[in-house]
Amino acid sequence: MDFNFTDEQNMVRDSLTRLVRENYDTETRREAISSESGWRPELWAQIAELGLLGMPFSEEDGGFGGGAIDSLVVMEEFGRGLVVEPYVPSVVCAGGFFKHGGTDAQKEEHIGAIVDGSRVYAFAYAEPRGRYDLADVDTSAKKDGDGYVLNGHKAVVIGAPWASHLVVTARTSGDRRDKAGISVFVVDKSADGVVTRDYPTVDGRRASDIYFENVSVSADSLIGEEGKGLPLIELVTDEAIAAQCAEACGAMKVAIDMTVEYSRQRKQFGVPIGKFQVLQHRMVDMYTEYEQSKSMSYLATLKLGESEKERKSAVSAAKVRIGQAAHRIGQEAIQIHGGMGMTDELAIGHYFKRLTIFDSEFGNVDHHMKRHIALAAS
Amino acid sequence: MDFNFTDEQNMVRDSLTRLVRENYDTETRREAISSESGWRPELWAQIAELGLLGMPFSEEDGGFGGGAIDSLVVMEEFGRGLVVEPYVPSVVCAGGFFKHGGTDAQKEEHIGAIVDGSRVYAFAYAEPRGRYDLADVDTSAKKDGDGYVLNGHKAVVIGAPWASHLVVTARTSGDRRDKAGISVFVVDKSADGVVTRDYPTVDGRRASDIYFENVSVSADSLIGEEGKGLPLIELVTDEAIAAQCAEACGAMKVAIDMTVEYSRQRKQFGVPIGKFQVLQHRMVDMYTEYEQSKSMSYLATLKLGESEKERKSAVSAAKVRIGQAAHRIGQEAIQIHGGMGMTDELAIGHYFKRLTIFDSEFGNVDHHMKRHIALAAS
Amino acid sequence: MNLDFSPEETAFREEVRAFIAENYPKHLTGSGLRDDMPPEDLVAWHKILGEKGWSVPAWPTEYGGTGWTPTQRYIWSEENAAVNAIMPLPFGTSMVGPVIYSFGNDAQKEQHLPGIRSGNVWWCQGYSEPGAGSDLASLQTTAVRDGDHYVINGQKTWTTLAQHADWGFFLCRTDPDAAKPQQGISFILIDMKTPGIEVRPIKLIDGGYEVNETWLTDVRVPVENLIGEENMGWTYAKFLLAHERSGIAGVARSKRAVEQLRDIARKELLDDKPLMEDFDFARKVSQLDIDLSALEITELRTLAGEEAGRGPGPESSVLKIKGTEIQQRLTELTLEAVGHYGTPYYRDVPDAGSNEYPIGPEYAQHSAASYFNMRKTSIYGGSNEIQRNIISKMILGL
Amino acid sequence: MNLDFSPEETAFREEVRAFIAENYPKHLTGSGLRDDMPPEDLVAWHKILGEKGWSVPAWPTEYGGTGWTPTQRYIWSEENAAVNAIMPLPFGTSMVGPVIYSFGNDAQKEQHLPGIRSGNVWWCQGYSEPGAGSDLASLQTTAVRDGDHYVINGQKTWTTLAQHADWGFFLCRTDPDAAKPQQGISFILIDMKTPGIEVRPIKLIDGGYEVNETWLTDVRVPVENLIGEENMGWTYAKFLLAHERSGIAGVARSKRAVEQLRDIARKELLDDKPLMEDFDFARKVSQLDIDLSALEITELRTLAGEEAGRGPGPESSVLKIKGTEIQQRLTELTLEAVGHYGTPYYRDVPDAGSNEYPIGPEYAQHSAASYFNMRKTSIYGGSNEIQRNIISKMILGL
C-alpha cells in the first residue's frame, strides 16, 4: 500500500500550482470566461509545453509514460483553480479512446496532436432522451461505401466550441437502447453537415449542442471495432469520472478553505462567525465530507486498471459519495458566506456552481447508486 | 377549518393527564412492566370507569358518541406517559372491526365488553413471512360444517398476553398473497388449539407469538363478509396507525421536554450544556420535527373519514413523517443526555425505545413511502 | 377539529378565482417574477388590485384593507399561487405601509398610503449594510440634523429592485453615542430621486440583478420624512420584520412547484420510462410532498391561532425554516430532473429566440438559475441560523 | 500510489489467518463480545495470544510488542474481525499498559506488564465520574496522603466490566487547590480487592450490565501505586486518551457486519422476494458500503502517514466520528431488516432454550439490543461533539 505521489508527480503538481496561481485568480478567470471565446488557447499551449497533456500516455504512444494518477494530480489542481481548459474532454476522453482503442495510425495522428496541444477534442456522447445511459444512442452511423454517414443530435458537449475534432458515439446496428451495435468515430468538426449551437455553461465553461446532418466520415474514422464500442466507452467514461472526482476534490478543498477563512474575518454581533459553535461543527462536517471524498477519489483512480466489476463499482461509489459531498459542501459554503456568497463578485459562488454541475456529468448520484447496487448483486 | 378540541375532549385530556401523572411516574411504571403480568388490570378498570374506552363508539353501539379525534386525545396522553395498557389493540383495532364490520349481535356482545373493560382484545394480523403486507396471509380458515377451522402462526401480537379474545385475519380462499379471500374472525383465546408464546417487548409491553392448531370457531365468529376482509382490515389498520401517530407525538413531546430540561441542569466545562449553540440548534430541530409530526398526526386523523385514497395517502404520509421524526428525536435525545441517556434508570431511554419500535408497527417508513408513491401515481 | 372550509369561505374562493381568471394579465399568466422582466409587468397586477381595493388585504380597513379573515387571506394567496401571480411587492404593502399607518403622522399617511395601495409608487428597503448581515443593528449610515433636513451618508446593500424605486425607507443612525447599537437609530423615508443617491446593481450567482448597493452621499432629506420619534427606529424596524416573516412558508407556491416538478418528471425519461416512474425520483418527490403537507397543516394551525387572537409568535420561525428548505429542495430536484440541460447558461445564449435549433426543453431553462437563486432564502429575512436561535430562546427557553 | 499489499504482507496475512483458524476457541467463533458471557470467555483469546506473544502488538518490543508495522497491525485486526474475535480488552493492553511502560518506574513495569500481556490480570478504568461526562478534568475523587498511603474517596462511573476486574487505574485529585482543574490530578493504580471499594452494576437501555458505578470509601492505597509524579496525572491521562482513539474506526468489524446484514436481508422477505432485492433497502446497504469504503481508505491513508512517521493526530477524530456513525447505522438497518421480530425482548423471554416454539429467527435476537447499545459509541471515548470541537480547533484552526 502506498499513498505517496512520485517525485515527478509532485513536480507536476508544483508547476501546476504556480500556473493556476498566476493565471487563475478570480478576476483573470472572470475576464477569460466572459471573453468571446471563453478560454485561453495560449494557456493551453503553455500547459502543453509543460508536458502536462502527455502525462497519461505511454512513451511509445507519444506521451510521457504516466497514467491515471497523473491525471488525478492535474485535475486536483485544475479543480482548485476552476480551470475551464478542456483536459478531460481532450486528454482523458478523446485521448483515452485512442489509447485504448485506436489503431497505430490513429494513435500517431491523434495522440500526437493532443499531446502537443495542436488540436483540441471534445466527446459527444449524451443525447436529449438518453439521460445518463451510455447505451442509449440514437445517433446513427450508416455504412456508406467504405465509410459511414452520421445523423443525430448530441446534447451539451462540453468543450466543443474550442474543439477541432469530436469523438462521437453512434449506432451502427440494433435498436436505440441496445448494448450492442454502438460504434465510436472521430469526426472533424469542420466536416460538412456538422451543425453546432454553442453556449456558455452555468459553471463557466463552454459547450455545444451538435447536430449531425448526413455527415460523411471515412472508414478510418472508426475507433475500435464496429458495433462493439460500449465496453470502450464505459472504460473511457470511468476514467473521465475518476479525473472529474479529483477535480471536484480540488474545488471542494478550496471552497472549504475559503469558507473557514471567511468565517475568521467576518464578524457578527462583535465576534468572528467562525467562533459560533454551530458554524464550527458544520465546517467540520464539510471537512469530513472532503476527506471521505478524497479517499474515494484515490480509490476510483487506483481501481481503474482492475477487473471491469471492481473498476465500475469503485468508480460508481466515488461518483456517489463525491456527488453527495459536492452538493453539501457547495450549499454550506454559500450559507456560511451569507449574502456575500450569493454575489457573482466572490469566488465562492463559482465553486458552488462548478460543484453543482459536477453531479450531472457522466451520471448523477442516483445513476451511479443504481450501478453500484446492480454490481453488488451480480 | 378548526383545530380546537371540544370542551369534552379537553376534559378527557385533563382527566388522563391526572391519571398518567398519578400512575405513570418512571418508578411506578418500571415496577408495573416488570411485574409478572406486566400491566395493571386495575388501572384498565379505572380507565374504563372514566368512560375512556367508550369514547370512539356511537351511543347506539354502546359508546359515548365520539370518534377518531377522541382516540387521538387519549393516545397523545398515553404516549406522554408511555402507558402500556392496550387501548390500540382492544379499543381501536378490535373495537374498530366490530364498529365497521360487526353484526348487531357482535356489536352488542363485543363492543359492550370492550367499553366496560371486562374483556381485553388483541389483533393478530402479522405473520413471520409477510412483513408489513396486510394481504400476505398464510393462516388458513377452512370451512367446516357451519364454522371454520383455523391453522397458522401469527407473529408479535401486541397485548395478547393480557387479552381474553383475539381478532384474527385468516385466509378462506386464494393464494397466500391474494388480496381477495381474506376473512376476519374473533376467537376466544382459551379455545382449544390456541397456543401462545408470551414475552415482553423491548419497549415495555407484552406480546405473543400465537399458533392456531386446528382451532374450531363458529360461523358467528366471522366479522364482515367471508373473503372480503381486506378493505376492512386496511381501514381499521389506518385508524390504528393514526392513533399510534398521536401516541408517538405524545412521547416525542415528553422526550424533547426532558432533553431541554436536562440540558438546562447538566453542566459541562462550567456551563449548562443547553448553552452550547450546537445543542441548541439540534434541540430546535427536534422541536421542529415534533411540530411537523403533530400536524401530520392531526391530518391522518382528520382524513380517516374521507375517500379510501385520501385516507390512505394521509395515513401513510403521517406514518412516514412521524417515523422519521421518531427515530431522529429518539437518537438525539439519547445523544444529548450522554452517558446518562444510556442507563435504564432515566426515563429518556424508555421513550427512545418506544419511539424506535413505533416505526415497525403497521408498516415502517419504507413501506408507507411505497404506498404513498403508489397512491400519488394512481 | 376539522379541515373543512365554511360555505362562506368556499364562496369567497370562487369569487376570487373568478376575479383572477378575468383580470390577471394574460401575458403574465404562469410566468412568476423574474428580475429581467420589464418593471411595468412587475406592478401590473398590483395596479389592477389597487383599483379593485384588494392590494393590501391585511391592512386595517380604515387604511384600505379588505377585512378578510386569516383564512380568507390564505385562500387569496392559494388562488394567486395557482396562476403563479406576481403579487404586489412587499416593500410597500407589507413593510413600510404598516409602519406608516402604525407610527406615521397624518400627513405621512395621506402622502404615502394611496401610492402604496395603488402600486403607483415603487418602494425599496434600506435596512442592510455591507458587513452587517444578520447583525442588523450594527448599521453605520448616519443622518445628521442640519436645520430642517437630515444629511445622510452611508451605504446600504441588498436593496431589492431599487433600480426601479421611487421611494425608499432607510434605517439611519441619528445618535452615534447611544449606549447600545439598537438605540439611536431612526426610520426615515427618502425620495430616491434626491441628489446624492446612487444605485449600483449587484450581479448574483444566477446571473441576475435583483438587488443593489445603494450609496448615499450628503443626501438632504426633509425632517418631515422621519417616522415616529427620532432614535426610536429600531422599534419600528422590529415591528416591520415581524410583518415580513408572515407568509414566508410559501405553501401555496411550493404546492404549485411540486406539480410543475411532477410535470417535468413525466416528460423526462430514465431508461425510456418517465422519470416520475423511477422509484428513486418518485421517493424524493413524495418526501417533498409529505414535508409540504406537514408544513401546510402547521401553517393552518398557526393561522387558526391567529384567528383565535394569538398573534404569530416565534412559531413563524418554524414556518420560515421549513418553508425555505422546501423551496430550495424543490429547485434542487427540478435541476436534477432536467439532467444535462441544467448545464447551459441560458441567459447568455447568443441569438436566443432566433430560428436556430433550441437548446433543450423550455422547462429546463430556469432550472439552474432558480436553484442558485433560491439559496438566498435561507440567508435573507433573518437567516435560518437566526431563526433557530429565536426558537431556542423564545420557545425552548435555552 | 497503489493499494497492493507487499508479498511479505500477504505472507503475514496467511500466517495470522492460519494461527487464528487453529487457535481461536471454537465455541466462541463468530459470537463477538457480550456482557452476559462468562468472564473466562472474554479473556480466553487474550490468554492464548499472551502465550503466543501477540497480545500487545503495538507495544515496544522490549515490553513484549511484536514490532509489526502499522499495515501488519491492520491486517491482524482484519483477520480477527473476520471471525468476530473477542480481542484483549483495551483497559490493560491499550490504556494502562502504555502508561505504565511510558511513565511507570521499573518496579511497576515488572509488577504489572506481565499480567497485562498474559491476560491473567483484569484491568478496569476509573476515569469518568457522575456529572463529569465530556468534562473529564472536573473530577472530584480525592486522594489524600496519609503516611505511606493515599486515602481515596469518591465515585467513579462507566467502569466497564469492573465486576470482573483485579486492578483499576484511577484519576484522583491530589491537590484540590490547584489553579486549573487539569492540575493537581494523579494517576493511581488500585487493587480492586482493597477494602472500601464497591462496584455496583448499571443497567443499560439494552438490558445489559457492561458498566458499573464504583464507590471508593477510605480506600488505602500504597504510595508506590502512584504513576509518575504526583499532580501530573492529567498528562498521562491525555496520553492514554490519544491511544484509546486509534483503531476506533472499526472498519474490519463493520465490513463483517455489512456482510451479516446482507445475509439477513437475503433471508427476510418483502413482497415475497428477498429484502436485499428491494431497491429501498439495497440503496441503504450500498450507501453504507460506500461510506465504509471511504472510511477504510481514510484509515489506510492515516496508517500510511503513521508508517511515514506522522503520528495519528486530530485526523483520528474523523475516524472516530465516521466509524461510530457507520456502526450505529449498521445496527439501525439490521433492526429494520428483521421487521416485527425486532420487538421481542429476548433477554427476558421465559423458558428460553426450552422446547417451546422459537420466537423469530435467531439473527433477530440481538438486533434491538445492539441498536440500543451502540448509541453509546457516539457518546463515549470523547463524544462526537467533542471530536468535532477538536477538528474545529486543531485542523480548521477555528
What pLDDT sits at residue D352? 52
- CB contact at 8 A, C349 and A207: no
- Rounded to 5 degrees, φ, ψ at D130 are -60, 135
What pLDDT sits at residue C355? 60
CA distance A306 to chain D (A): 11
What pLDDT sits at residue C311? 64
CB contact under 8 A, B317 and C293: yes
Task: Residue C283: list chain D partners with CB under 8 A.
Answer: 280
Q: Are residues C254 and C372 in the same domain?
A: yes
Beta-bridge mates of residue B143: B148
Q: Are residues C256 and C295 in the same domain?
A: yes
Contact B304/D at CB under 8 A: no
Task: Residue C327: list chain A partners with CB under 8 A.
Answer: none
Q: Which tens digits make up the pLDDT trace of C358-386?
A: 899 999 999 999 999 999 999 998 899 99
CB contact under 8 A, A200 and C344: yes
Q: Which residues contact C114 (CB under 8 A, 6 or more apart)?
A: none
Across the interface, of D271, D359, D368, the residue whose CB is closest to B197 is D359
Q: Are residues C260 and C390 in the same domain?
A: yes
Residue finishing a domain among C88, C114, C134: C88
Average of per-residue pLDDT across C167-183:
94
Task: Residue D283: list chain C partners with CB under 8 A.
Answer: 280
- D312 pLDDT band, cuts 50/70/90, is low
* Residue ranges of chain B that CATH labels 2.40.110.10: 122-228
Cell numbers describing residue D207: 438490558
Burial of residue B7 (CB within 10 Å: 0-12, 13-18, 19+) is: exposed
Interface test with A, best of B279, B280, B281, B285 (most A CBs within 10 A): B281
d(CA D107, CA A161): 78
Cell numbers describing residue D1: 500510489
Q: Which tens digits make up the pLDDT trace of C257-274?
A: 999 999 999 999 999 999
| CATH 3.30.70.20 corresponds to the domain A231-377 | no
Burial of residue D22 (CB within 10 Å: 0-12, 13-18, 19+) is: exposed
Q: Are residues D296 and D169 in the same domain?
A: no
CATH number at residue D137: 2.40.110.10
Counting the structural domains of chain D, the total is 3
Contact A296/D at CB under 8 A: yes
3-state SS class at D198:
strand
CA distance C283 to chain D (A): 9
| Residue numbers in chain B where pLDDT is lower than 70 | none
Place of cell 404598516: C98
- C246 pLDDT band, cuts 50/70/90, is low
CA distance C207 to chain A (A): 7
- C269 belongs to a structural domain: yes
Phi-psi region of C314 (alpha: psi -120 to 50; beta: other; left: phi over 0): alpha
Task: Residue D308: list chain A partners with CB under 8 A.
Answer: 4
Question: Chain A residues contacting B, CB < 8 Å?
Answer: 276-278, 280-281
What pLDDT sits at residue D147? 96
Contact C203/D at CB under 8 A: no
d(CA D261, CA D276): 9
d(CA A136, CA A100): 22
Cell numbers describing residue B294: 403533530
- Kindly list the averaged pLDDT for each block of 10 residues, start to end, along chain A of length 378: 91 95 95 96 96 94 92 97 98 98 96 97 97 97 97 98 98 97 98 96 97 97 98 98 98 98 93 97 98 98 97 98 98 97 97 98 98 95
What pLDDT sits at residue D187? 97
Mean of the per-residue pLDDT values of chain D:
93
Q: Are residues C257 and C160 in the same domain?
A: no
Chains interfacing with A (3 or more CB pairs < 8 Å) = B, C, D
- D36 pLDDT band, cuts 50/70/90, is confident
pLDDT exceeds 70 at position D354: no
- Rounded to 5 degrees, φ, ψ at D186 are -125, 155
pLDDT exceeds 60 at position C341: yes
More confident residue, B373 or D36: B373
d(CA D212, CA D160): 6
Q: Which residues contact B234 (CB under 8 A, 6 or more apart)?
A: B134, B308, B312
Q: Which tens digits make up the pLDDT trace of B343-361?
A: 999 999 999 999 999 999 9
Give D93's DSSP letter: I
Interchain CB contacts (distance < 8 Å): C and D = 5
Q: Which residues contact B28 (CB under 8 A, 6 or more apart)?
A: none
Q: Are residues C14 and C83 in the same domain?
A: yes
pLDDT exceeds 70 at position D353: no
Beta-bridge mates of residue C215: C155, C198
Q: Which tens digits make up the pLDDT trace of D66-112?
A: 999 888 998 999 999 999 999 999 999 999 999 999 999 999 999 99
Cell numbers describing residue D58: 503495538
- C80 belongs to a structural domain: yes
Expressed as residue numbers, the domain containing C73 is 7-88
- D45 belongs to a structural domain: yes
What pLDDT sits at residue B173? 98
Interface test with B, best of D213, D281, D351, D359 (most B CBs within 10 A): D359
- D13 belongs to a structural domain: yes
Best CATH choice for the domain B122-228 from the list 3.90.1150.10, 2.40.50.140, 2.40.110.10, 3.30.70.141: 2.40.110.10
Q: Are residues D222 and D323 in the same domain?
A: no
**What dihedral do alpha carbons B192, B197, B200, B203 form, nearest 10°?**
-90
Place of cell 447599537: C181
Q: Are residues C273 and C371 in the same domain?
A: yes
Task: Please give the residue of chain C at the shortest CA–CA distance from B374.
Answer: C282
pLDDT > 70: percent of chain D? 96
**Strand residue runs (E) in chain B:** 121-124, 140-144, 147-158, 165-171, 182-188, 194-200, 206-217, 222-223, 267-268, 271-272
* Residue ranges of chain A that CATH labels 1.20.140.10: 231-377
| CATH 1.10.540.10 corresponds to the domain B7-119 | yes
**Helix/strand number for chain D, H first, E second:** 12, 10
Q: What angle do CA A306, A310, A311 make, to 5 degrees?
A: 65
d(CA A46, CA A44): 5
3-state SS class at B68:
helix
Cell numbers describing residue A2: 502506498
- C70 pLDDT band, cuts 50/70/90, is confident
Cell numbers describing residue D197: 471499594
Interface test with C, best of D279, D281, D287 (most C CBs within 10 A): D279
d(CA A167, CA A233): 11
What pLDDT sits at residue C238? 87
**What dihedral do alpha carbons C328, C334, C339, C342 form, nearest 10°?**
-70
What pLDDT sits at residue C349? 72
CB contact under 8 A, D286 and A288: no
Task: Please give the residue of chain B at the shortest CA–CA distance from A276.
Answer: B277
Q: Are residues D220 and D311 in the same domain?
A: no
Q: Name the residue among D369, D368, D362, D363 with its Cα closest to residue D342.
A: D368
DSSP string of A345-365, one letter each residue: SSTHHHHHHHHHHHTTTTS-H
Burial of residue C177 (CB within 10 Å: 0-12, 13-18, 19+) is: exposed
More confident residue, A351 or C1: A351
What pLDDT sits at residue B74? 97
pLDDT exceeds 80 at position C312: no
Q: Name the residue among B370, B346, B362, B342 with its Cα closest to residue B82.
A: B346
Q: Which tens digits make up the pLDDT trace of B176-232?
A: 999 999 999 999 999 999 999 999 999 999 999 999 999 999 999 999 999 999 999
Q: 10 Å Cβ neighbour count for D226?
A: 23
Active site residues of C: 244
- CB contact at 8 A, A163 and A121: yes
What pLDDT sits at residue B102? 97
Contact C280/D at CB under 8 A: yes
Residue finishing a domain among C203, C231, C259: C231
Contact A369/C at CB under 8 A: yes
* Residue ranges of chain B that CATH labels 1.10.540.10: 7-119
- C240 belongs to a structural domain: no
CB contact under 8 A, A131 and C372: no
Cell numbers describing residue D95: 490504556
Task: Please give the residue of chain A at the shortest CA–CA distance from B280.
Answer: A278
Radius of gyration of chain B (CA): 21
Across the interface, of B177, B202, B364, the residue whose CB is closest to D368 is B202
Place of cell 438486533: D367
Interface test with C, best of B9, B13, B264, B284 (most C CBs within 10 A): B284
CA distance A141 to chain D (A): 37
Task: Residue B301: list chain C partners with CB under 8 A.
Answer: 1
- CB contact at 8 A, D323 and D250: yes
DSSP string of D236-297, one letter each residue: HHHHHHHHHHTTTT-HHHHHHHHHHHHHHHHHSEETTEEGGGSHHHHHHHHHHHHHHHHHHH
Task: Please give the residue of chain D at the shortest CA–CA distance from B282.
Answer: D385
Q: Name the residue among A307, A348, A299, A354 with its Cα closest to residue A327.
A: A354
CATH number at residue C338: 1.20.140.10
Which residues numbered 164-203 in A keep a CB inside 8 Å of some CB on C?
Answer: 177, 195, 197-203
CA distance A234 to chain B (A): 33
Q: Name the residue among B302, B299, B296, B298 with its Cα closest to residue B365.
A: B296
CB contact under 8 A, D1 and A302: yes
Which residues numbered 78-117 in B keep a CB inside 8 Å of some CB on D?
Answer: none
- C255 pLDDT band, cuts 50/70/90, is very high
pLDDT exceeds 70 at position D355: no
Q: How many CA atoms lie within 13 A of A349 on its CB side?
A: 24
Q: Are residues D263 and D345 in the same domain?
A: yes
